[in-house]
């Protein structure tokens, strides 16, 4: 593939629009910022430059162009990102850009898509699926949901899918086995038989696996069978319904998490379309990371049994670590969301809207678990609640809950406060104070400082004309960096002062270096401080250049003294004296 096709596609793609479709961006001067989608944070350190068409997080360090973002955010390979952007940009790609492993990945996805179509056809169009269709309708799953989520039916046959994919569609048995659709014993046979099929889709809506549910309630087999771990499907990194709920999650700025596929579909048909389902009762850190890219507000609505209660507690802890706000739905009126919706959809909507804070839920559960009228019950409640109160960082919020707990236990606030104090120290941080950026500049090696200043320059925006007056090109040692500075100074002298126009004047290799330097910045600087830091950086660079020159001249002076060349010695001594005076003057400024 011609290299310039990659650049043409990139030039036709606006990184701000691309990222804003996935992450809520807000303007910050000439750039845009957001909470980083790649790590948990409460203060935005993720920046997108419209002028450079790059993104950078100063919290976790990730950064790059549109291709890098899609690979990191969507989990695409480079060829997949290229195809996706080419389609959006209306560019016809030349062939030969895929590696062998990428071609295999495409075949696996195609086989899974064909399997979904096969199962869906049998459920909706074939007599063999009539019982399964009736079962779904009885559970409230209408034709619209069946179509939108691609539901299907796997017949009571050992090899119907095998014959369709291998015999008819000419896939190798090893390929179909690799994605979990068939099993090899003495012969190959279908993994899913006599089950309602739920396609499991990734963030981009591609089918990567299946969940199969038996129709018979009292069957001896497992009620659910899932695709095993494959190169495409990883149970802990997928949420059922996420691709379909994605738009609603962004619009409502929250995600409701339930346990199973039927719970998710029930919530969806009740109008809570920002719902997703975990596989089983365990919410994983990877799943929290998936939803955190779309919203920082998570509503847990897991089942009321012991496993669901335990999963809620674990989920709260992991979500809190990831910087996600958590509230909890107390599922009442049924054992799970599906049952609640079946009885009264409005009741489910109200339960979601009335979701309570994490602390209300955890404290309320402790009071519901023990008898508050007995001494033993009070002891158990206080023992369970004290660590929760100790973990509340905000003093006002902590005081609010402490007062309420003391009142319910019929004890003084002082007594309860003592129990909380025993449970742990509140609000202690072990973070070290970071030295100001300007102080750190003095410790940078010259080459690193040269690159740092060039990367910083392209963040200056409208301050470029003022800042460029601090540039001393002769102090730059690295040839590639020096050449870019020459282009920059020349551009500004010609009244070209926007980052976008300056970058256009650079050669391809120079633009790549600028991109690298911009995304390698490790500290975010407030816009009103950038010019000051930039000027201080150049002062330090000039000082380092003078010191290096002084070391060279001093060494040469020693050589001339040994050789007895008095004429040159006097000239060098004068130059050394001037450099020392200049350095001394800089140190007093």
Percent of the chain with pLDDT over 70: 88
The predicted pLDDT at position 191 comes to 95
pLDDT of 441 > 60? The answer is no
Predicted confidence (pLDDT) at residue 208 exceeds the cutoff of 90: yes
CA distance 204 to 238: 11
Per-residue confidence band for 444, with pLDDT thresholds at 50, 70 and 90: very low
Torsion of CA 260, 261, 266, 268, to 10 degrees: 110
C-alpha radius of gyration, the chain, whole number: 32
Q: Note the pLDDT of residue 354.
A: 92
C-alpha closest to that of 70 among 1, 10, 3, 4: 10
Under the banding of pLDDT at 50, 70 and 90, the label for residue 100 is low
Cα gap 466→454, rounded to integer Å: 15
Query: 371: pLDDT confidence band, cut at 50, 70 and 90?
Result: very high
Instruction: Give the residue-averaged pLDDT of 52-57.
Output: 88
Whether residue 46 contacts residue 34, with contact meaning beta carbons closer than 8 Å, is answered with yes
Is this model's pTM higher than 0.75 or not? no
pLDDT tens-digit map of 525-556? 676 778 888 888 888 888 888 887 877 777 77
Hunting for tokens 């799953």 — which residue is that?
141
For residue 435, pLDDT beyond 60:
no
Write out pLDDT tens, residues 221-237: 788 899 999 989 988 88
CATH for 237-354 is 3.40.1360.10
pLDDT for residue 133: 96
| Among the ranges given (67-81, 301-315, 384-398), the one the predictor scored with the smallest mean pLDDT | 301-315
Provide mean pLDDT across the span 217-222.
72
Mean pLDDT of 460-480: 84
Interval 101-157: pLDDT, tens: 678 888 999 999 999 999 999 999 999 999 999 999 999 999 999 999 999 999 999
At 281 the pLDDT is 64
Q: What mean pLDDT is predicted for residues 476-501?
A: 86
Q: What is the CATH number of domain 362-423?
A: 1.20.50
**Burial track 214-234 (b if 16+ CB lie within 10 A, e otherwise):** beeeeeeeeebbbbeebebbe
Residue 350: is its pLDDT beyond 80? yes
Nearest Cα neighbor of 264 from 278, 246, 250 is: 278
The CATH architecture of the domain made up of 3-89 is Alpha-Beta Complex (3.90)
Architecture label for domain 100-233: Alpha-Beta Complex (3.90)
Element (H, E) at 509: helix 508-519
pLDDT digits (tens, 9 = 90+) for 323-333: 788 899 988 88
Q: Are 65 and 515 in contact (CB under 8 A)?
A: yes
pLDDT value at residue 97: 58
pLDDT at 443: 35
CB 119 within 8 A of CB 128: no
| Segment 244-298, tens digit of pLDDT | 999 899 889 999 999 889 999 999 999 999 999 997 667 888 888 888 888 889 9
pLDDT at 570: 78
**Highest-pLDDT range among 201-205, 250-254, 271-275, 467-471:** 271-275
Q: How far apart are CA 394 and CA 544, in angstroms?
A: 47
Domain ranges across the chain: 3-89, 100-233, 237-354, 362-423, 438-588
User: Residue 197 phi/psi, 5° resolution?
Assistant: -110, 130
**Class of 438-588 per CATH?**
mainly alpha
Work out the percent of the chain whose per-residue pLDDT is above 90.
Answer: 35
pLDDT band at 305 (very low <50, low <70, confident <90, very high): low
């Amino acid at each position: 593939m011609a290299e310039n096709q990659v650049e043409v596609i990139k030039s036709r793609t606006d990184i701000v629009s691309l990222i804003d479709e996935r992450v809520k961006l807000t303007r910050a001067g000439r750039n845009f910022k957001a909470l980083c989608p790649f790590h948990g944070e409460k203060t935005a350190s993720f920046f997108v430059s419209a002028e450079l068409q790059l993104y950078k997080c100063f919290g976790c360090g990730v950064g790059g162009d549109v291709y890098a973002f899609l690979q990191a955010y969507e989990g695409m390979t480079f060829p997949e990102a290229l195809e996706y952007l080419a389609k959006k940009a209306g560019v016809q790609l030349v062939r030969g850009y895929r590696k062998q492993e990428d071609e295999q990945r495409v075949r696996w996805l195609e086989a899974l898509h064909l399997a979904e179509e096969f199962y869906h056809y049998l459920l909706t169009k074939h007599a063999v699926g009539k019982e399964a269709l009736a079962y779904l309708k009885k559970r409230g799953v209408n034709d619209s949901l069946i179509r939108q989520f691609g539901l299907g039916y796997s017949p009571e046959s050992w090899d119907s899918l095998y014959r369709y994919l291998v015999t008819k569609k000419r896939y190798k048995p090893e390929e179909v086995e690799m994605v979990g659709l068939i099993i090899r014993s003495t012969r190959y046979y279908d993994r899913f038989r006599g089950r309602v099929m739920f396609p499991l889709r990734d963030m981009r809506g591609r089918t990567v696996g299946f969940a199969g549910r038996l129709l018979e309630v009292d069957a001896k087999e497992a009620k659910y069978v899932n695709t095993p771990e494959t190169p495409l499907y990883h149970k802990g990194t997928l949420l059922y319904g996420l691709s379909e709920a994605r738009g609603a999650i962004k619009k409502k700025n929250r995600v409701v998490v339930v346990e199973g596929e039927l719970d998710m579909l029930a919530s969806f048909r009740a109008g809570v379309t920002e719902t997703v389902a975990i596989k089983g009762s365990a919410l994983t850190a990877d799943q929290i990371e998936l939803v955190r890219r779309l919203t920082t507000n998570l509503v847990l609505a897991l089942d009321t049994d012991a496993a669901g209660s335990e999963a809620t507690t674990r989920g709260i802890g992991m979500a809190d670590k990831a910087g996600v706000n958590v509230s909890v739905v107390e599922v009442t009126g049924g054992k799970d969301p599906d049952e609640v919706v079946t009885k009264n959809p409005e009741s489910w909507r109200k339960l979601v809207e009335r979701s309570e804070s994490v602390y209300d839920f955890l404290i309320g559960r402790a009071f519901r678990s023990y008898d508050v009228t007995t001494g033993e019950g009070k002891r158990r409640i206080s023992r369970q609640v004290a660590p929760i109160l100790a973990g509340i960082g905000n003093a006002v919020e902590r005081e609010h809950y402490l007062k309420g707990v003391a009142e319910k236990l019929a004890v003084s606030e002082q007594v309860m406060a003592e129990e909380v104090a025993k449970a742990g120290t509140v609000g202690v941080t072990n973070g070290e104070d970071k030295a100001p950026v300007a102080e750190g500049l003095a410790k940078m090696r010259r080459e690193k400082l040269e690159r740092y200043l060039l990367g910083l320059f392209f963040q200056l925006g409208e301050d470029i004309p003022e800042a460029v007056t601090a540039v001393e090109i002769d102090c730059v040692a690295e040839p590639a960096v020096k050449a870019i500075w020459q282009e920059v100074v020349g551009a500004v002298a010609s009244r070209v002062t926007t980052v976008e126009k300056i970058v256009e004047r650079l050669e391809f290799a120079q633009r790549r270096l600028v991109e690298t330097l911009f995304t390698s910045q490790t500290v975010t600087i407030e816009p009103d401080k950038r010019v000051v830091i930039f000027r201080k950086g150049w002062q330090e660079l000039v000082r380092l250049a003078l010191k290096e020159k002084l070391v060279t001249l001093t060494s040469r002076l020693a050589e001339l003294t040994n050789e007895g060349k008095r004429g040159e010695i006097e000239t060098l001594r004068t130059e050394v004296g001037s450099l020392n005076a200049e350095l001394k003057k800089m140190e007093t400024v």
